[in-house]
Amino acid sequence: MNSTLTTPASLDDPAPAAAAWVRTWGAAPQAPDNSVSSVEPFENATLRQVVRISGGGHHLRIRISNEYGTAPLTIGAARVALADADGAIQDSSSRAITFGRQSTVTVPAGAPALSDPVDLTVPALSRLAISLYLPGRVHTATCHGTFHTLGWLIPGDATTRTALPAKAAPLPAQALITAVEVQPDTPTQAITVLGDSRVDGIGSTPGTDRRWTDLLAERLHAHGSRTRCVVNQGIGGNRLLTEGIGTAALARFDRDILATPGLGHVVIAVGNDLVFSFAPRNEETAALLAVFPGEPVGVDDIIAAHLQAAARARAHGAKVYAATIAPYGGSDMYTPKGDKAREQINDWIRTSGAFDAVLDFDAVWRDPADPSRIHDDLHMGDHLHGNDAGYAALAESIDLSLFD
């Protein structure tokens, strides 16, 4: 039978008693376009994707998004299982995912869908294989353009298959899955990070969970912190105030940050407004800047955007931390005027008292011999994004007591 979200299914039994849910993994949804990894239409195919959660629990649920879809999205079958590091499904762990107690669901264009609770115990830092069968043609799949996990496209309904068939093809982007939530065994809270490509982990090794948010989750787990769920809501190329790659951060703030179940802490780490506003206009940057329409913004605009995000987060009872903007000297986007603006914004972040704490990422990455540049050992070669060592340095610099 098919459950269509526009007409809720009639349930014979009362719903189970409410319990505390906490988001343990997330990927900010984006519209598929030429600015992110190309996603071809899907039809009669299974998407199998592996995600690593941060905190564990005894039940889980999955959030599917058709928010940027142009037509209703039908999920014909769905399953979740514990997965090994290479994506192989662990024996006896596969469970059916249902929506309104039905095995299929049709999600209207522009809407998300939240699954029923799945009875599966998932340890902290475990990997999940999530399989979605798409029987009809999906022309426009809501996705996440930076693909750090493992994923495959398999012909037909392969949701119950434990091994990948020979015809499985790699997925170019995270598709349709935007969150995993758990019911933890003990009370916990989530840290949700609003960010751009340095949060999204551009430059880290794909498939190895080496973004700084992944490493922070590992540290919190080893520390025994009450807060163990770290949700990465970064989008490469994203800006606070202006559309570009992904919906502007302040426009997606309610959906991607404030709607996080179990939200306790918000980290603001977006520097692209500054980078693109002050970038040189030349042949080297012309193609990239064409993706980023809109008028440049100034220091006061960026400060006002930080204050707005902080106020909205505090209105939801969350603590608010801001990250300073790391250097980018030596990159194609650098100008001395932009670096001066970066220093002004960082000075304000450090001294204004507008935040509950400051994560001084600028201090961690800058080269002592030239503070306008990232230390050579910490960037991926473009003088703009970190490498595995660079993101590890950010994670190690964070005071875990902020989340006790």
Per-residue pLDDT tens for 94-141? 999 999 999 999 999 999 999 999 999 999 999 999 999 999 999 999
Extract the tokens encoding 7.
């007409």
Top-confidence residue, 341 or 8: 341
Q: What is the Cβ-side half-sphere exposure of residue 16, based on CA atoms within 13 angstroms?
A: 9
- Euclidean distance between the first and the last CA atom of the chain, given in angstroms as a whole number: 46
Among the listed residues 357, 270, 353, the one whose alpha carbon sits nearest the alpha carbon of residue 320: 357
Query: Can you tell me which residue has the tokens 């875990």?
Result: 400
Question: In whole angstroms, what is the distance from residue 71 CA to residue 62 CA?
Answer: 21
Tell me what the pLDDT averaged over the chain comes to: 91
Top-confidence residue, 354 or 9: 354
Question: In whole angstroms, what is the distance from residue 372 CA to residue 277 CA?
Answer: 17
Complete DSSP assignment for 156-176:
S--TT-SSPPTT-EE-SSEES
Question: In whole angstroms, what is the distance from residue 320 CA to residue 377 CA?
Answer: 30
3-state helix, strand, coil in the chain (%, to 5): 25, 30, 50
Pairing verdict, β 73-75 and 22-26: unpaired
Q: How confident is the model at residue 173 (pLDDT cuts 50, 70, 90)?
A: confident
Q: How confident is the model at residue 16 (pLDDT cuts 50, 70, 90)?
A: very low
Question: In whole angstroms, what is the distance from residue 42 CA to residue 133 CA?
Answer: 10
